[in-house]
Amino acid sequence: MLFNPPHPLEVKVLTRRFSEPNCASLETYLAHDGYQGFRKALGMKPEEIIDQVKISNLRGRGGAGFPTGMKWSFVPRQSSRPKYVVVNADEGEPGTCKDRVLMENDPHSLLEGMMIAGLAVGAHTGYIYIRGEYRYLIEIMDRAIEEACAGGWLGRNILGSGFDFDAFTHTGAGSYECGEESALLESLEGKRGVPRIRPPFPAVSGAFQSPTVLNNVETFCAVPPIVLKGGEWFANLGTPKNGGTRLFCLSGHINRPGVYELPMGFNLLRMIEEVGGGMIGGRKLKAVIPGGSSCPVLKADECDLAMDFDTVAKAKSMLGSGGVVILDETADMVKVALRLMRFYQHESCGWCIPCREGTLWLRKLLERLDAGRGSATDVNLVGELARNMLGRTFCPLGDAAAMPTISIVEKFRDEFEARLAPARDLVEIA
Amino acid sequence: MTFSPALEARLAALIRRYPAGRQRAALIPMLMYAQDETASITPELAEEIARRLGITTLQVDEVVSYYSMLHRRPLGRHHVQICTNISCMLTGGEELFERACRRLRIGNKQVTADGQVSVEEVECIGACSWAPALIVNYDFHHNVTTEKLDQLLDSLRGAAGGPTAFRPRADRGPSLKPSNGETAVDSGAA
């Protein structure tokens, strides 16, 4: 089974149908509130839909945590151009595997979320950009689209309302960078996944230079229950300004890794101990990457905190994409820093110099340090280079590479120093 | 250049998905689905797709050189993609990758002499909670152990004697049976 057995501490909103037999089918979906949010939204004004999403305090589940209702309200009401709904299903942030679970088990909720977004902004076409590796999910989504069309839930004049909506899947072809929204739009248009300069933001000029609502899979999946049960109900599940639940992907050195739906603000230590079943072999916790590999790491003594966007930001990290990677005392932090930098260097699109050159330099320095051939100057240079990348790159990939690196070098400097080359060797190399 | 009727139908449908005048948007999906049948992006294929979309072959080449899943040379009949990114690294993904290379006697992105199996170290594949994980063609394998890896490689090379669980990329139907990610295998359905 792809998904793990549920945990009693879970609050099942987006995953509530997962335990039903044949949960991905239209039949099961319809038997459990399926398309009822859309039906209700048909009777609402566009601004009323957006208001409910605003009240819900739903924030972007892709990683940035931007308020979804506000994002939707930026789409110009009057526009001579057609508008689009685009789903970011290019899940690729290391540590993150939740959108996969949603599309596999509840594909219709994604379609319903897209349709409600279409009603809210006046869009009649939606594209689901799915990473190429997820081919079986593209086929699940294609089948769900076919089923919904055959059942009259998608296509022309849905439920006799006069509202038309078409949804299509679109495969990626292997690129982390395409998870960045403007690079995704370039890729959707058949080009290299190179980010666009912003503004204009996608809400004004996105897919095919038209106003576009672009959100993560999980964000769209949260919309039907928000419309059906009300924004306030959803907001009350979480903490102030952090509405609802979210899918946390626990991985690494724990006994029960898995994807668990927990309320926003759930305590990280409890998440590890109670939901994740504690550390493997009873070993000691060393560090946690709280929201995908781009987030600064938290040391064990920084982990007693509420997992919502604002609390994790106060701890100088990020809630990010919900990928919680747990590292125990055996984890080699120099290797962790090197592995992550190899990733960012491989995925840097090469468009802007600080990222292209910075990630390469950092990879080479970290390789030297990992091999025991580095000097104390190299350790300083890693931090210095990474800090020089921050905020100086075209898109957030540069920051994503720099942030975990800076935090690892600062918080685990002793591990780097223990690996320095003996002074004698350094003289020879010099 | 001619394709199977199923692929022709798919390519035609892909072009229709995008707004008028924006057909270039179909480029990456067309390349991905065509590559499943032709095994790689040959110059001939690039020209054919360019012609159908009314763009230059240079515009196709630009895209092919950018995306890691588009290949100019054929991969093995079974392309084994082993994740070694953070969650898989912590649970033994690097050891699995090295073991696969050793057993197959090939390096990263190389193909066995008989063309049966290729191996690639890949970045995060979205299986972090079921790590370490790998993908064979498009089929996920989770919680992979060294024993499971050995069995898998043996079955891919046909060493076990019986028919393999996977069909060649070239005759994969357009549809995989999506029961769940772990056991998704060809259904043969069109």
Chain-wide mean pLDDT for chain A?
96
What local confidence, expressed as pLDDT, does residue A423 receive? Answer: 75
Point out the residue among B19, B63, B176 whose CB comes nearest to the CB of A139: B176
pLDDT of residue B99 exceeding 50, the answer is yes
Is B181–A104 a contact, with Cβ atoms under 8 angstroms apart? yes
What local confidence, expressed as pLDDT, does residue B172 receive? Answer: 39
How close B46 comes to chain A (CA, Å)?
Answer: 13
Q: Can you read off the two tokens belonging to residue A332?
A: 């080699």
Please list, in sequence order, all residues whose beta carbon lies within 8 angstroms of the beta carbon of residue A374, skipping any fewer than 6 positions away. Answer: A365, A368, A416, A419, A420, A421
Is A189–B68 a contact, with Cβ atoms under 8 angstroms apart? no
Gap between the Cα atoms of A28 and A152, Å rounded: 16
Best of B18, B23, B71, B87 to disrupt the A interface (most A CBs within 10 Å) is B87
Query: pLDDT of B100-132, one tens digit each?
Result: 999 999 999 999 999 999 999 999 999 999 999
pTM of the full structure: 0.94
Is B31–A252 a contact, with Cβ atoms under 8 angstroms apart? no
Gap between the Cα atoms of A102 and B148, Å rounded: 27
CB atoms within 10 A of CB B12: 11
Is B85–A336 a contact, with Cβ atoms under 8 angstroms apart? no
Q: Write out chain B residues lying below 8 Å of A397, CB-based.
A: none
For chain B, what percent of residues have pLDDT higher than 90?
81
Is B176–A331 a contact, with Cβ atoms under 8 angstroms apart? no
How close B116 comes to chain A (CA, Å)?
Answer: 20
**Nearest-10 crossing angle of helices B57-66, B43-53:** 120
Domain ranges of chain B: 5-66, 78-184
Banded model confidence at residue A430, pLDDT cuts 50, 70, 90? very low
CB atoms within 10 A of CB A68: 27
What local confidence, expressed as pLDDT, does residue A78 receive? Answer: 87
CATH 1.10.10.1590 fits B5-66, yes or no: yes
Is A95–B128 a contact, with Cβ atoms under 8 angstroms apart? yes
Fold of B78-184: Glutaredoxin (3.40.30)
Q: Write out chain B residues lying below 8 Å of A335, CB-based.
A: 89
Gap between the Cα atoms of A414 and A429, Å rounded: 23
For chain B, what percent of residues have pLDDT higher than 70?
83
How close B107 comes to chain A (CA, Å)?
Answer: 18
Is B175–A174 a contact, with Cβ atoms under 8 angstroms apart? no
